[in-house]
Structure 1
Amino acid sequence: MKKELRLQTLAMLEQISTEEFNRYASLLHEHLLQLPSWKQAKTIALTMSRGKEIPTMPLIEKAWQEGKTVCVPTCFPETKEMTFYEYTPETKMISRYFGLTEPDPQVSAAVHKEEIDLIIVPGVCFDQQGYRIGFGGGYYDRYLADYHGVTIALCLSLQQIEYVPAEAHDISVSMIVSEKGLLYQK
């Protein structure tokens, strides 16, 4: 079920023109940057976006301008865990799994979960209860199980579905932001 929903949503995203996608993404960024959760956060965690994922580089640059600490994850498939590392223009990035660029754990400064105020959680589709279907690795659900800060998912309204078949280990996000504004808040 989750696999079909993931594939259907990814197929719909592929059909949007780049212009339209970029326009929606800019509107979404504007909504996110107005949220108290963004404004108050001193340390923000997010992923390096690619393809038809909401672009995160503009958010990273904005966070830097605002004097925030930015961290991005490195995944460790052997243990199915991920660690966030501080990300600056000088961070040494390496390309490992599925062509994702991640901070090099050998030379990067790890950021502890308790220090992160806001995590932008990636996903393919989301429902009205804040549950998500991610990219299938389960890294975020494991990481968020004992995380107590704010979690925000970014998605276009077409990525919102009525119902995600959530399992016991699935963690819902605090808020969902789309090009139309706040779609959901816990």
Structure 2
Amino acid sequence: MSAEDMQGESSAIAEHILNSSYFQSSKRLGIYLHCAALREVDTSLLVDAALIRGDAKCYVPLVLDQASNMRLLHLESREGLTAGPPYHILEPSQSYPDGSPREDVLEMSEPLDLLLMPGLAFDWRGHRCGRGGGYYDKFLSLCHERAARSHKKSPLLVALAFRAQMVEEVPIAENDRGVDVIVTPEGPTAVSAAGAAALQS
């Protein structure tokens, strides 16, 4: 895909999400910060929309190590972002400007309502192929465990995908977790019961 094609498809995907009831009604939104080098769907419009909302909070990923440990931390402004190695993905610091620790999704009393996820490839059954690090799989496992212990609802998992990222079948392992909704330039498709309920609301 050319840069122009990626930007055009990213804009169409963002418009679908911004107009959705699940985005507009979510109070705690997890959004990945896209990486140009990895050719991911651009989430800039979505992050900006979340940041200006007065009734919601935005949480973005911070990779902690090479052992698949990742956290989603509260982001109050783009000014708190720095580029991390090796792909220069923007990440938040672990502390707010005043030195206090940032709010961590895995330590909150309430779970995320919505998590927007990247990937390398997806199929129409909701299977996701990541990039081999296992960061999202490990993070999601912890999210589901916390939600189950507190009898809370797990976040709605929404994948953002270029047309070229949709394939016939993604091989999955035992620990791989599927998504609930896939959003392509053509619009959203529910691939789970939770996804169908979200699109009907």
Query: Shorter-chain-normalised TM-score: which range?
Result: 0.7 to 0.9
- Structure 1 position 119 matched with structure 2 position 115: yes
- Residue in structure 1 matching 2:50, options 63, 69, 88: 63
Q: Is 1:137 aligned to residue 143 of structure 2?
A: no
TM-score in terms of structure 2 length: 0.78
How far did 1:152 drift?
A: 0.3
Instruction: State yes or no: 1:48 paired with 2:44.
Output: no
Aligned to 1:109: 102
Measured in 2, the distance between the counterparts of 1:158 and 1:79 equals: 30
Query: C-alpha distance in 2, partners of 1:163/1:57?
Result: 29
Alignment-mate amino acid for residue 90 of structure 2: T
Once residues 153 and 69 of structure 1 are traced to their aligned partners in structure 2, the CA distance between those partners, rounded to angstroms, is 19
Q: Match of 2:183, SS?
A: strand
TM-superposed deviation, 1:105: 1.4
Counterpart of 1:112 in structure 2: which amino acid? V
Counterpart-to-counterpart distance in 1, 2:28 and 2:159:
16
Match of 1:35 among 12, 15, 20: 20
Residue 93 of structure 1 pairs with residue 81 of structure 2: yes
Partner deviation per Cα, 1:42-75 (whole Å, 9 max, x = no partner): 1111121121211111101111233221111111
Tell me if structure 1 keeps the 8 A contact 2:59–2:105: no
Partner of 2:196: none
Q: Return the alpha-carbon distance in structure 2 between the equivalents of residues 87 and 65 of structure 1.
A: 11
Quote the residue 1:161 is aligned against.
167
Counterpart for residue 11 of structure 1: none
CA contact (8 A) 1:126 1:161 kept: yes
CA distance in 1, matches of 2:78, 2:5: 32
Q: Deviations over 1:133-174 (max 9, x none)?
A: 112210101111243111100001211111111010000011
Unaligned stretches of 5+ in structure 2? 145-153, 193-201
Task: Note the 1:4-23 alignment, pairs <5 A.
Answer: 16-23=1-8
Q: TM-score by structure 1 length?
A: 0.83
**More divergent stretch after superposition (124-133 vs 93-102):** 93-102
- Equivalenced residues, count: 171
The separation in 2 between residues aligned to 1:120 and 1:90, in whole angstroms, is 18
Tell me the amino acid that sits aligned with residue 61 of structure 1.
Answer: D
Cα shift at 1:183: 3.0
Whole-Å separation in 2 of the counterparts to 1:100 and 1:62: 20
2:73 maps to a residue whose letter is: Y
The CA RMSD over aligned residues, in Å, is 1.8
Kindly state the Cα deviation for residue 79 of structure 1 after the two structures are TM-superposed.
Answer: 4.2
Query: Structure 1: 5+ residue runs without aligned partners?
Result: 1-15
